[in-house]
Amino acid sequence: MKNLLGSSIKDLENVALNYGQAAFRGRQIYKWIYNYRNKKKNIDQIEVLPQDFRNKLRNDGFKVSELRLQEKNLASDGTLKLLLATEDNESIECVGIPTEKRLTACLSSQVGCPMDCKFCATGKEGLKRSLKASEILDQILFIENEMNRKVTNIVFMGMGEPLLNIDDLLLSIRSINDDFQISQRKITVSTVAVPKMINKLSKKSFQILGNCQFTLAISLHASNQKTREKIIPSAKNYEIKKIIEDSKQFVRDTGRRVSFEYLMLSGVNDKLEHAIELSNLLKGFQCHVNLIQYNQIDDVEFKRASLKNLQLFQSRLSNNGIAVSLRKSRGLDKNAACGQLRQNARKK
């Protein structure tokens, strides 16, 4: 299938020229695809193009969108969660998180996830497949269309492990940067951390993008190896100290600060002794810690840490010289946790 989403102006000019059309027809397709106000997703609906050109594109299998809206949930704080169906009848989630000045799109990179993190609804069903770059980009268009706003920031924190789909991840970032006009500095790639893949990410970023200016966010969630293995089974293959070494190398290679995501789980990783241990682990290099409130899900043993523990933990890190912030959860009244909407839909 030939999906035009993710194509550059030059790509689309060449498509037009290959069909005997003037190059400006390709530029017309480009403007039509990446206009967030355009809710039409069918090539037949590109009315600025001659009908015979549209017919040829359609008959030759060209498309703009392969996803369809299956379900949407709007939370009281304005957060919009979408369940999108793929052509092979799988489903993925994406989220639009609005503030007054920003619209952040939380995107999925895979159908399901192989990492089996014990606190996550997505991992409960395993990995089905990775998403194509066009399927990643289509999530942005759905969020923009539904919220009638241009996305300003991107976080790859939805379903899946982005570093296990690294080529399509980087191809989508190229298009997000060039075609959606969103700076790499407003893009965050979140990973549980896969052996050797952090180094590969920086290397391939320079090959595919020419630079590496997005933020790498590592889902650490623990201050020691034993605790991390308890909540992230795949951690047994990647020692926490080695993750820190590879993160330091990423900073040296790219000049970009690494963020560490730390999900606060009551009685598991939220004690002051953990804060001290985390401080010792991270001291001495360019990084930042995001403390995250847990979105509880059914059939999972973990509970949200108290606000008091969160604040004490944050204070201890800050006093120990670690840059830290507290990220509040959004959309709590509408299946906020990653994978919940998909899981609930399957139960219906």
Residue 66 is a catalytic residue: no
Catalytic residue selected from 94, 106, 117, 338:
338
Measured distance CA(167)–CA(200) in Å, rounded: 11
User: For 155-199, what is the HEC assignment?
Assistant: EECCCCCHHHCHHHHHHHHHHHHHCCCCCHHHEEEEECCCCCHHH
CA–CA separation, 108 and 182 (whole Å): 18
What span, in angstroms and rounded, lies between the C-alpha atoms of 243 and 342?
31
Q: Which amino acid is at 20?
A: G
Amino acid at 273: E
In whole angstroms, give the CA distance from residue 238 to residue 241. Answer: 9
CA 251 – CA 239 distance, rounded (Å): 19
Task: Give the whole-angstrom CA distance, residue 340 versus residue 120.
Answer: 9
* Pairing of the two strands 80-85 and 91-98: antiparallel
For 154, 200, 277, 337, the CA distances from 94, given in Å and listed in that order, are 11, 26, 34, 11
Could you give phi then psi for residue 240, rounded to 5 degrees?
-60, -35
As a whole number of angstroms, the distance between CA 345 and CA 326 comes to: 31
Q: Which of 132, 131, 151 is nearest to 141 (CA)?
A: 151
Known catalytic residue at 93: yes
Return the H-helix or E-strand segment holding 102: none
Strand order in the sheet with 91-98: 68-74, 80-85, 91-98, 103-106, 153-156, 187-191, 215-219, 258-264, 287-293, 324-327
Amino acid identity of residue 146, one-letter, is E
Q: Which of 13, 66, 93, 144 is catalytic?
A: 93
> Catalytic site residues?
93, 338
